[in-house]
Chain A
């Protein structure tokens, strides 16, 4: 329970990651994306459609993990949380995807607007002609919207991480004040821009349908998958250092369980209100996603994202069991992918479609870039924020009785 109290922690330096691994991940990423580009620009019309859809699902999945991690980071700064300091490099590594290539994906997806969104297709028949919504969902406005949503979030997240990295080399007495101010700005911007991003970029694949809860729904998925990804990195970090202790795992596990519950709450609230009101414009989303063999995905994602983690992590001793947690978190990540797939793909097909080879290659492509940005982050920066005065508190557990 009580390890030896430390009075000083040396900067441990970066993790030793074989350069072959980093380069290999990057190579997988580049190859996968080349396959995607080949299919998206030279394939038959049907192949292009499917390639762009797969690209959209893959990039949203990783982009949401990175955004969720940035929000997690900002929340820890705003609440002045000290327990997280020893683990802070993990959300920072995930966030680094945003400015190390991640921001390119939503911008690049603009080239495929005509394939991804039915309202932007050349022969589009918009369900509400001559309304503001028709103008709002037009390709030109869409370009402006995506830039306005993505660029500020990426910039703020970049500074959030960079300030913390800078404090490693040069301890900064004003560090927590500055990060607090930046995090508040980030969270306010995130609240607006992430909701708008969810509505305009993700929800508009089904242009007739709208749900004001959709932003929160996407946030809950993004946040949960970011925490799940952090949990998996915690497992890796724990093999390198014994400073990450049982109580850190316990707190992370509580976070996973809490946000799995939050996810279910938001998902069910959205479904129940629409199901109960039974309005034509609203139920079409769920009808298309329950019929035509799409139902198994609903069962899978509710099991993976809520029921299994909730029941498995309920006993307190399971929340210090790193294997149970990692298995639950891998399930959550799979469930989050299924969730996005289930939201997006029925817009293109009335019956269940499984990912094709090009889609798998595209997913590996985005995953490779994501993995490369995480690995090279750990290879070039210390895995503990040694310059942060709260690191000792986090390791010694002083925050528990402060």
Chain B
């Protein structure tokens, strides 16, 4: 979920499958770019349908894992072999099998933190959450497809495309009011769809 690109045509649906098929058609057949979708719950296959690239979040987590594991292992070696060597049961100072659990834990810990912060940055909710609400029903029973448009020509094409695909309602997000953190909508030419808002 990146930030909403404006201006964009929004198509409202009430079924996850419809959204999935419309997204795929819009991308493959109509060639719309930078599509995004909003839904009350994760819809399986949505990333492929929208043609989203794999995000960099998992890479950040992987880097965190290796750095954390390395630091954990190094710290234990340093602490028990260099800084304060203690003979425990006649074992060597660097008794690596005993350090695997802690190495694992520090690796997982740093991977978890990296994952969390990378996710927050990728979603644009770091350092503070900025939620721009398109419609309150997105958290309940509406699935929204957003098609960013560059010019009125493309806007017309997007509206026509959505109308051909049994859209419930069409809205046009014109710009984002940064101060009040909300979307400013513009009237849709020739009515807004089949559902009255």
Cβ of B100 under 8 Å from chain A? yes
- Cα-based distance from A316 to B98 in the complex (angstroms): 31
- Cα-based distance from A275 to B92 in the complex (angstroms): 13
Instruction: Specify which chain A residues have a CB less than 8 angstroms from the CB of B16 in the assembled complex.
Output: 401
Verify B97–A276 contact, CB threshold 8 A.
Answer: yes
Distance between A81 CB and nearest chain B CB, rounded to angstroms: 15
Verify B44–A397 contact, CB threshold 8 A.
Answer: yes
Pick the contact of A401: B43, B49, B89 (CB < 8 A). B43
Measured CB to CB, the nearest residue on chain B to A399 is B44
- Cα-based distance from A275 to B88 in the complex (angstroms): 13
Instruction: Specify which chain B residues have a CB less than 8 angstroms from the CB of A276 in the assembled complex.
Output: 97-98
Cβ of B36 under 8 Å from chain A? no
Between A268, A276, A397, A401, the greatest number of chain B beta carbons within 10 A of the residue's beta carbon is seen for A401
A1-B44 contact given A268-B100, A276-B97, A401-B16, CB 8 Å threshold: no
Cβ of A353 under 8 Å from chain B? no
Cβ of B20 under 8 Å from chain A? yes
Verify B49–A1 contact, CB threshold 8 A.
Answer: yes
Cβ of B48 under 8 Å from chain A? yes
Cβ of A20 under 8 Å from chain B? no
Instruction: Specify which chain A residues have a CB less than 8 angstroms from the CB of B17 in the assembled complex.
Output: 401
Verify A400–B44 contact, CB threshold 8 A.
Answer: yes
Between A272, A316, A397, the greatest number of chain B beta carbons within 10 A of the residue's beta carbon is seen for A272
Pick the contact of B97: A1, A2, A271, A401 (CB < 8 A). A271
| Total number of A residues with any Cβ neighbor in B under 8 Å | 12
Cβ of A278 under 8 Å from chain B? yes
- Cα-based distance from A276 to B54 in the complex (angstroms): 43
- Cα-based distance from A144 to B84 in the complex (angstroms): 56
Measured CB to CB, the nearest residue on chain B to A1 is B48
Instruction: Specify which chain B residues have a CB less than 8 angstroms from the CB of A2 in the assembled complex.
Output: 20-21, 24, 45
Verify A401–B100 contact, CB threshold 8 A.
Answer: no
Measured CB to CB, the nearest residue on chain B to A402 is B44
A interface majority secondary structure: helix
Which residues, 7 to 24 on B, are CB-close (under 8 Å) to A?
16-17, 20-21, 24
A1-B45 contact given A278-B89, A401-B16, CB 8 Å threshold: yes
**Size class of B's contact patch?**
10 to 19
Measured CB to CB, the nearest residue on chain B to A277 is B89
Verify A272–B98 contact, CB threshold 8 A.
Answer: yes
- Cα-based distance from A316 to B59 in the complex (angstroms): 12
Measured CB to CB, the nearest residue on chain A to B54 is A316
Which residues, 99 to 119 on B, are CB-close (under 8 Å) to A?
100-101
Which residues, 37 to 68 on B, are CB-close (under 8 Å) to A?
43-45, 48-49, 54
Verify B45–A272 contact, CB threshold 8 A.
Answer: no
Distance between B105 CB and nearest chain A CB, rounded to angstroms: 13
Instruction: Specify which chain A residues have a CB less than 8 angstroms from the CB of B44 in the assembled complex.
Output: 397, 400-401
Instruction: Specify which chain B residues have a CB less than 8 angstroms from the CB of A268 in the assembled complex.
Output: 97, 100
Distance between B129 CB and nearest chain A CB, rounded to angstroms: 27
Verify A400–B45 contact, CB threshold 8 A.
Answer: yes
Measured CB to CB, the nearest residue on chain A to B90 is A278
Distance between A222 CB and nearest chain B CB, rounded to angstroms: 24
Verify B100–A272 contact, CB threshold 8 A.
Answer: yes
Distance between B23 CB and nearest chain A CB, rounded to angstroms: 11
Instruction: Specify which chain A residues have a CB less than 8 angstroms from the CB of B24 in the assembled complex.
Output: 1-2
- Cα-based distance from A276 to B88 in the complex (angstroms): 10
Verify B49–A272 contact, CB threshold 8 A.
Answer: no
Distance between A179 CB and nearest chain B CB, rounded to angstroms: 26
Contact with B along A257-271 (1 / 0, CB 8 A): 000000000001001
Distance between B15 CB and nearest chain A CB, rounded to angstroms: 10
Which residues, 223 to 275 on A, are CB-close (under 8 Å) to B?
268, 271-272, 275
- Cα-based distance from A63 to B60 in the complex (angstroms): 43
- Cα-based distance from A316 to B53 in the complex (angstroms): 13
Distance between A288 CB and nearest chain B CB, rounded to angstroms: 18
A-B pairs, 4 with minimum CB distance: A400-B44, A1-B48, A272-B97, A401-B44
Question: What is A's interface to B at a CB cutoff of 8 Å?
Answer: 1-2, 268, 271-272, 275-276, 278, 316, 397, 400-401
* Apart from A2-B20, A2-B21: 9 A-B pairs, beta carbons within 8 A: A2-B24, A272-B101, A276-B98, A278-B89, A316-B54, A400-B44, A400-B45, A401-B16, A401-B44
12 contacts between A and B (CB under 8 A): A1-B45, A1-B48, A1-B49, A2-B20, A2-B21, A2-B24, A2-B45, A272-B98, A272-B101, A275-B97, A316-B54, A401-B43
